[in-house]
Amino acid sequence: MEPQSVPRIDQQLAFLVEADKLKNVLRRTTLTDGSRHENTAEHSWHLALTAMVLQEYASSPVNLPKVLRMLVVHDVVEIDAGDTFAYDAAGNATKEARERRAADRIFGLLPADLAAELRSLWEEFDAAATPEARFANAVDRIQPFLQNRETGGGTWHTHNLSRDQVLARMDPVRTALPQLWPTILNTIDKFFAKPSG
């Protein structure tokens, strides 16, 4: 109970060991080959790669290094809080409190300066108020979109979602990476063939 007595380096290594648990947090989305559910650690890696490859489409200039750092830590709280399915209203009602407690514990394993730095990246992502956070949030929609597109609808199909639900979920892409929107709309339209109007 005296964090100061644990050497700084051991606090850092303990956090990195704890982070391994994110590989056991499963998301609703499956891999594109449908073989299994995706976990949050590999999802986070895929988002970082997506940000690197699609950064040119950001509607506001973004600081890519910050986007990458944000994406690496943005889901670490799921070690305790679990993955809350985007379309789970009940789960999302308690998500904020669960994730805040998780952040206290997990980032709290780190020395105070690093804990503050990583927590602030996570909070910035969640607030979605800066260009970097808006771009990162859009990337967090595009990657599962691609997984769903490659698996005949994926969670749209297995969870019986409506076109409006999917459109609302994907909306951050429309403003953060507008040049991707026609591709996304086209896929959604095909899947929900044929929307009214």
| Token code pair at residue 17 | 């060991």
Q: Of the candidates 54, 58, 170, 176, which one interacts with a second copy according to CB under 8 A?
A: 54
Taking CB under 8 A as the rule, does residue 106 contact a second copy? Answer: no
Q: Which stretch binds a second copy (CB under 8 A): 45-53, 80-88, 94-102, 122-130?
A: 45-53
User: What are the residue ranges of helices labelled H in the chain?
Assistant: 8-19, 40-54, 64-73, 78-81, 89-107, 112-127, 131-150, 154-158, 163-176, 181-191
Q: Of the candidates 1, 4, 5, 33, which one interacts with a second copy according to CB under 8 A?
A: 33
**Closest among 164, 156, 155, 158 to 191, alpha carbons compared:** 156
CA dist., res. 48 & res. 64, Å (int): 10
Maximal CA-CA distance, the chain: 66
Beta carbon nearer to a second copy, 84 or 143:
143
Beta carbon nearer to a second copy, 42 or 88:
42
Backbone dihedral region for residue 154 (phi beyond 0: left; psi -120 to 50: alpha; all else: beta): left
Q: Of the candidates 6, 34, 49, 127, which one interacts with a second copy according to CB under 8 A?
A: 49
Cα torsion at 35, 83, 47, 132 (round to 10°)?
A: 170
Q: Of the candidates 130, 183, 191, 192, which one interacts with a second copy according to CB under 8 A?
A: 183
Taking CB under 8 A as the rule, does residue 189 contact a second copy? Answer: no
Beta-sheet pairing, 26-30 with 37-39: antiparallel
Taking CB under 8 A as the rule, does residue 81 contact a second copy? Answer: no
Taking CB under 8 A as the rule, does residue 69 contact a second copy? Answer: yes
- Residues forming contacts to a second copy in the complex (CB under 8 A) are 9-10, 12-13, 15-17, 19-24, 31-33, 35, 38-39, 41-42, 44-46, 48-50, 52-54, 57, 64-65, 68-69, 72-73, 76, 110, 114, 118, 143, 146-147, 150, 179-180, 183
